[in-house]
Amino acid sequence: QITLKESGPTLVKPTQTLTLTCTVSGFSLSARGVGVGWIRQPPGKALEWLGIIFWDDDDRYRPSLKNRLTITKENSKNQVVLTMTNMDPVDTATYYCAHRREDMASYFDYWGQGTLVTVSS
């Protein structure tokens, strides 16, 4: 059974760095074809894809966030970490991590419950 769970701060101040951890179970982060993506959703708004890391440590990012965003993983800990620098109130959102099922096909079949991050002084 595949599960993902996000953890991290619920409140960050403007200009601070956000670090969120996605702890996964039921699959291996190093298994060929596996990917874990990050998606966020501002309150009452649409979903926004942020980035993804693949089993071979390749990664892709939303271009508008590329300079602020880093996604890494630690296979032995079953964890994927999102780091976003220079946080702003517009970054207030629920942040989700999600599992990609197929190689070369990044639709997401399992999602974490999400964690609401508020950016405010």
Partner 1 sequence: DIVMTQSPDSLAVSLGERATINCKSSQSILYSSNKKNYLSWYQQKPGQPPKLLIYWASTRESGVPDRFSGSGSGTDFTLTISSLQAEDVAVYFCQQYYSTPYTFGQGTKLEIK
Cβ closest to partner 1, residue 19 vs residue 110: 110
Q: Which is nearer to partner 1, 15 or 64 (CB)?
A: 64
Residue 49 contacts partner 1 per CB under 8 A = yes
* The one among 3, 8, 23, 60 contacting partner 1 by CB under 8 A: 60
Near partner 1 by CB under 8 A: residue from 1, 43, 46, 121: 46
Beta bridge partners of 96: 39
Report the distance separating Cα 79 and Cα 121, nearest Å.
29
CB 113 within 8 A of CB 5: yes
Q: Which is nearer to partner 1, 87 or 115 (CB)?
A: 115
Nearer to partner 1, 31 or 47 (CB): 47
The DSSP line for 1-56 is --EEEEES-SEE-TTPPEEEEEEEESS-TTSTT-EEEEEEE-TTS--EEEEEEETT
**Smallest distance from partner 1 to CB 13, Å:** 26
**Token reading at 88:** 């702003």
Q: Who's near 105: CB < 8 A, 6+ residues apart?
A: none
Question: Residues interacting with partner 1, by CB under 8 A?
Answer: 37, 39, 46-49, 52, 60-63, 96, 98, 105-109, 111-114
